Amino acid sequence: MATNNAIINSAYVMVHNCLACTLEPREVEWWALHRSTSWFDTYYCSHIRIWAPPGVNLAVDYCNRKGFHSLKFQAIVDADGAFLDFFAGMTGSCDDLRVLRCSMLYSRLDFGEVLAGPEITLPSGFRLRPYLLGDAGYICEPWSMTPAVLTPRSPPQMAVYNEAQIQGQLVVEQAFGRLKKRFRILDTGVQSDITWAPHMVMVWCAVHNFLLKCEDGYDPDETVADELSNGPADQRVRSRDAAYADRVREELATYLCLIP
């Protein structure tokens, strides 16, 4: 049995390396390098199921709030559902904001190395820069538009903004859902060494992007939203640009109300 497992693992590594060398460079249009002028793409953090790693401490670290063991997987997805940037490997117990801040994407965003495309001038005269769309697991930044927390005093345009934000976020949730439906191991649990898991996910994303190019679009029967929603971020950890980020969101909300 041990010999058979060794043969299977060896074959798996060969297939993985072949896909990584041929598909990933061709099918993954790395967002940080090629998408810096995109107006907005969506980012999200999901869970990849794994079997419980050996050792009590590791098992606890990798156990997420839903009670199963997982790796966190952060990605940027475009309007077509293609994966443009991904970061995987952190433990399932990490919150989304921590995953973001540990990724190379965050440092590049924070230092203005990406999203440096041309601004557009809104009817109010406000100059709007490109941004990413994120869910409640993140905080509002000048480059990250997240849902607004509504109160009885919130202006009506913020409800319109939230509705548009939800529709945009659905694209990335459906991309993750479709990825997991295509590659069932992501739902049943990756059994290999967890150090291999991030590399496997990258290859599956490349295959996913390739299959998208071979199709006319989403089949509604195959589109499934990701099943594990993210908890809200702690708003007390907002950045020094929090006031400006709120202004961007308010201007965007006002503009959305002007669109027929």
Question: Taking the domains of the chain in order of start, what are their residue ranges?
Answer: 2-258
Alpha carbons 254 and 11: distance in angstroms, whole number: 56
pLDDT bucket at 14, cuts 50 / 70 / 90: low
What pLDDT score was predicted for residue 8? 44
What pLDDT score was predicted for residue 54? 81
Q: Is the pLDDT of residue 4 over 50?
A: no
pLDDT bucket at 192, cuts 50 / 70 / 90: low
pLDDT in tens, 38-88: 456 888 989 888 888 887 677 889 999 888 999 999 998 988 888 888 888
DSSP helix/strand/coil, 93:
coil
What pLDDT score was predicted for residue 134? 92
Q: What is the pTM of this model?
A: 0.78
Alpha carbons 169 and 213: distance in angstroms, whole number: 21
* E runs forming strands in the chain: 40-49, 70-77, 83-91, 120-121, 127-128, 131-133, 144-145
Alpha carbons 39 and 109: distance in angstroms, whole number: 14
Please give the residue that has the higher pLDDT: either 214 or 1.
214
Alpha carbons 177 and 222: distance in angstroms, whole number: 9
The strand pairing partners of 127, in sequence order, are: 121
pLDDT bucket at 199, cuts 50 / 70 / 90: confident
pLDDT bucket at 37, cuts 50 / 70 / 90: very low
pLDDT bucket at 112, cuts 50 / 70 / 90: confident
Burial (Cβ within 10 Å: 0-12, 13-18, ≥19) of residue 210 = middle
Residue written as tokens 């809200």?
Answer: 232
